[in-house]
Amino acid sequence: VQLQASGGGLVQAGGSLSLSCAASERIANNYAVGWFRQAPGKEREFVAGFSRSGRRIYYTDSVKGRFTIPRDYVAEKTVYLQMNSLKPEDTAVYYCAATWARWDEVRLHASEYDYWGQGTLVTVSS
């Protein structure tokens, strides 16, 4: 599967952005998907992800209550990440990734993903 992330940009602290990840084939029920980010000089970190079933969604602690993967992600070929109450520390390049996994398994580590989009830059100004 090929992935393409988009929707990044410059936003003031407290603002919102919605990222999209367009896939070349159906995502729903076929792949576990994750959103990752990488800030300058830092390692790529897990942000949010969901299982192949769509029933399990996991968020890293720093974004809980602020970021969501809409339940209607099953536009089948597109996955979204809604980011609210953005903070300067959210500034990073954001990537979407996909992999095959067990039905209700959420993959949390970048090394577990086989397919990656090219990344989209999110900059949050203070």
Structure confidence at residue 54 (pLDDT): 87
- How many degrees, rounded to 5, is the angle at CA 47 between CA 65 and CA 67? 30
pLDDT tens digits for range 73-117:
555 789 999 999 999 999 999 999 999 999 999 999 999 999 999
pLDDT digits (tens, 9 = 90+) for 36-64: 999 999 999 999 999 998 899 999 999 99
Mean pLDDT in residue range 18-36: 93
- What is the predicted pLDDT for the residue at 28? 81
User: In terms of Cα–Cα distance, which of 75, 89, 72 is closest to 124?
Assistant: 89
| Residues 5, 118 contacting (CB under 8 angstroms) | yes
| Amino acid letter for position 21 | C
